[in-house]
Amino acid sequence: MKVRKFQEKRGWAFGLGVMIVKPFLLSTTRQEWIGGENIPETGGFLIVLNHISHVDPLTAAHLVYEYGRKPRYLAKAGLFDNPMLGKFLRDAGQIPVKRDTSDAVGAYAAAVAAVNAGQVVVIYPEATITRDPALWPMKGKSGAARIALETGCPVIPVGQWGAQDMLAPYTKRPHLFPRKKVMMRVGPPVELEDLRAEPRTSAVVAEATARVMAAITHQLELVRGEQAPAERYDMAVHGDRFKKQKKGK
């Protein structure tokens, strides 16, 4: 696993986060990272990943940091309501998102501005932890595709596996020991160049989104050594199985 020297300005908040999170992950996980050379050394871009656990933003940040870049996330706006936590997150460069409101437009604009300023924005196109019974990626949302088409930036797909063993989806009790193996496979940029020249229609955005999800799923198939289902889980069609399980209790 060859990593790079971190060269960006960290700032107090990000530096503090590294001091806390990195030792925690080194003591609780074993990293197997493949394809890290596909992470650009300079310039703005998107990292897009499958979402399998509440802890995987930490393992993803670890990957991006060790390859020399500072990750920025689109984080739930509610986290910023706490004065101390909000200041920490803002100073660390994170971007608040209010879902299902007009403020989501502001988050999109902030993400576009961050990429255009040469920064790295980490996005989970599913927008939530997968509900697929076998934890395969679900149907994606259009945010990452729209940012990519607007900025022309590289979109780097990552398939990740193992974080769910530390903290299973929508559970509160972690299982940190023995150390869990966390595998991440970084693919080449998603091919979107032909779509960038097209009018920004819903069909073009949908095709870009489908390509992003296909690239993530392909990397995850290589990590798991399995083939994903032909039909992608869609909560609009299949419902939210976690909510169904809670109602059934």
**Cβ neighbours of 197 (radius 10 Å):** 8
216 within some domain: yes
207 within some domain: yes
DSSP string, 181-198: EEEEEEPPPP--HHHHTS
In the three-class reduction of DSSP (H, G, I as helix; E, B as strand; rest coil), residue 202 is classed as helix
Look up the CATH number of the domain holding residue 140. 3.40.1130.10
239 within some domain: yes
173 within some domain: yes
Q: Report pTM.
A: 0.92
Q: Which residues of the chain have pLDDT under 50?
A: 102
DSSP-derived pairing of the beta strands 155-161 and 71-76: unpaired
- Residue 207: what pLDDT? 98
- Residue 102: what pLDDT? 47
- Residue 107: what pLDDT? 81
Number of domains in the chain: 1
Residue keyed to tokens 């779509």: 195
CA 116 to chain centre: 19
Write out the residue range of the structural domain in which residue 192 sits: 31-70+119-248
- Residue 10: what pLDDT? 87
Cα separation, 172 vs 128, in Å, equals 16
Cα separation, 144 vs 150, in Å, equals 10
